[in-house]
Chains A and B, each alone.
Chain A
Amino acid sequence: MSSSATTGKMSGNTPRITVVGAGVAGLATAVTLAERGGRVTVHERADSLGGEAASWLAGGMLAPFCEAETADPAIIAPGLAAIDWWGDRVPGVSRGGTLVVAAGRDAGEIRRFARRIDGAEPVDASGIARLEPDLAERFRQGLHVAAEAHLDPREALRALAERLRSFGGTIRLSSTVDPAAVDGDVVIDCRGIADDDPALRSVRGEMLILRTDELLLSRPVRLLHPRIPIYVVPRADGHFMVGATMVESDAPGGVTLRSAVDLMNAAYALHPAFAEAEIIEIKAGLRPAFPDNLPRVTRNGRIVSVNGLYRHGFLLAPDCAARAAALTLEHHEEIAA
């Protein structure tokens, strides 16, 4: 592959690129290609941006170190690079790191987590109070993973859509197309679980959004627990996203009572102020995943597939987009040659 395939602009005849799916994978890929001079049209089957995308329900944590506790360490480098990628393109990327805490009786969970991840500094009660004053006196032990960041996924998706348009790209909502049949020199298939790849499975996730003015957090907080580890991500206007369950299931229905109770209990355990919070939203989504829980970017003729971003959509979409762009250019050069 020539070096221009990974970094360069497209020259000569700019290819017409069709992206199917306007979740985070589709939009990040569309923007990446548009920035490099591609003429990009995105088709989204939902009637609103993110209407059916797993990424609409995401936490928006850019937390490669914490995620690598269970994920393949291969996600760390692209995950760290993603922080800058998002910072350069969307507003509100906050680089306060991640705070990891556990209740006193779960001290072992903190030790285990600390052993297994890089980039974490232990913090005591005063350290926690300094980072998150509202959690002072609630937790005495924790970890601060300073190099991590977070964003608001919905704001980020809107900003990407805006950026795509500014580069001359088009987004067609309520447009269901078959990647094999659609127009375009290159087709990027970013349909997530709608793809019928037999290796792909769904991992159901349930989340809620709460609103309270009684609590202020400035960074994502992970509450370790032997049974129900959760995270709480602060958003604008007193909103907090609480997530997320992981269930091996492709059932598309609503949130189960058990999951709702688990998430709510854990939020309450993080801070009792959540008891008075308003429940703004409670939803379930399906994350597309391959058996190793890592994304795949592949090309078959003029169709490039980006899928399996699992619980790492915002973390790994920039890297997947760059890989998809390289394959796109590779195809373009093959045709030209």
Chain B
Amino acid sequence: MEIYGETIGSRLMLGTARYPSPEILKEAIRASGAEIVTVSLRREAAGERAGQKFWDIIRETGVRVLPNTAGCHSVRQAVTTAQMAREVFGTNWIKLEVIGDEDTLQPDLFGLVEATRILSDEGFQVLAYTTEDLVAADRLVEVGCRVLMPWGSPIGSARGLNNVYGLRAMRARFPELTLIVDAGIGVPSHAAQAMELGYEGVLLSSAVALAGDPVAMARAFKLSVEAGRLAFGADPLEPRDMAEPSTPVLGQAVLA
């Protein structure tokens, strides 16, 4: 998968919060094969670099850190957090979240477009956490975003892909863009389904972190993402109304 000109081997990205321990987080990252993990600056730092020890543990795994602006509710907050993240993590990548609704944690698409415009102008490479809204997606692309991350369903809800039609339409509209399903993935079949739709990758967090055995679940997601991608490339069947026997019955004796 390509992210702003860089080729990334794994199509699975992991969040890093709420694991039972950093040790288990490290094992889960390894088991998932993820090459990119997201880190929330706001929540885990409480002050600049105050989360350094935790970030160091993540870095030991050799993965790339994609800072995010989780928990930001305004353009200004998100932009400031992104600027701080660039300094702390030394990367122009930012997973941009501007939350518009406290209950559903739905992105504020207006704020998201504005923040993307500001950050793109400042040289950031924005991975925008958005919905499947095509108009918002067009605007995001206009202001410089090249990686769109539509939600599957609300963050942490584990409901899977709420709007398969919308995600399919987005894939069809932006065949050249890197599209990653972010949020709402609960079980590996959800991730496989996103991959079967032709998405480049998935990003998930609590599905692994809060599982009873995060390391086993990380591996399950690794396999499902690979399976879904393979299936996408293998041109799967369309659903049919009529049954079609998989073994020809021609010539078989008809017993009345």
Interface residues of A (CB under 8 A from B): 70-72, 115-116, 200-202, 204, 226-227, 247-251, 253, 256, 289, 291-294
Contacts and interface: CB of A to CB of B under 8 A. Distances in A.
Given A291-B22, A292-B21, A292-B23, A250 B156 contact: no
- If over half of A's interface residues share one DSSP class (helix, strand or loop), that class is named, otherwise mixed; here it is loop
A256 B23 contact: no
**What 7 A-B pairs come out closest when comparing CB atoms?**
A201-B53, A251-B50, A248-B54, A251-B47, A293-B21, A292-B23, A249-B50
Counting chain B CB atoms within 10 Å of each CB, the highest count among A202, A251, A291, A294 belongs to: A291
Q: Give the dominant DSSP class at B's interface.
A: helix
Nearest to A310: B21
A313 B24 CA distance: 21
Nearest to A259: B46
Given A248-B54, A293-B23, A256 B46 contact: yes
A247 B44 contact: yes
Nearest to B53: A201
B88 interface: no
Interface in B24-54: 24, 26, 43-47, 50-54
A251 B54 contact: no
A116 B212 contact: yes
Contact of B46 (A72, A204, A289): A204
Nearest to A250: B50
Nearest to B57: A291
B49 to A, nearest CB: 9
Given A249-B54, A251-B46, A291-B21, 14 more contacts: A70-B20, A116-B212, A200-B53, A201-B53, A201-B54, A226-B156, A247-B43, A247-B44, A249-B47, A250-B52, A291-B22, A292-B21, A292-B22, A293-B21
22 contacts: A71-B21, A72-B20, A72-B21, A115-B212, A200-B53, A201-B22, A201-B53, A201-B54, A201-B57, A204-B46, A226-B156, A247-B43, A247-B44, A248-B53, A249-B45, A249-B50, A250-B52, A250-B53, A253-B47, A291-B23, A292-B22, A292-B24
Contact of B45 (A71, A116, A251, A289): A251
Contacts of A291: 21-23, 26, 57
A71 B20 CA distance: 6
Nearest to A116: B212
Contacts of B54: 201, 248-249
Contacts of B22: 201, 291-293
Nearest to B58: A248
Interface string B102-135: 0000000000000000000000000000000000
Given A70-B20, A201-B54, A291-B21, A253 B46 contact: yes
A293 B46 contact: no
B20 A249 contact: no
A71 B19 CA distance: 10
Contacts of A247: 43-44, 46
B45 to A, nearest CB: 6
A300 B50 CA distance: 30
A294 B21 CA distance: 9
B156 A227 contact: yes
A227 B71 CA distance: 12
A293 B24 CA distance: 10
Contacts of A201: 22, 53-54, 57
Nearest to B39: A248
A109 to B, nearest CB: 10
Contacts of B212: 115-116
Contacts of B24: 292
A122 to B, nearest CB: 18
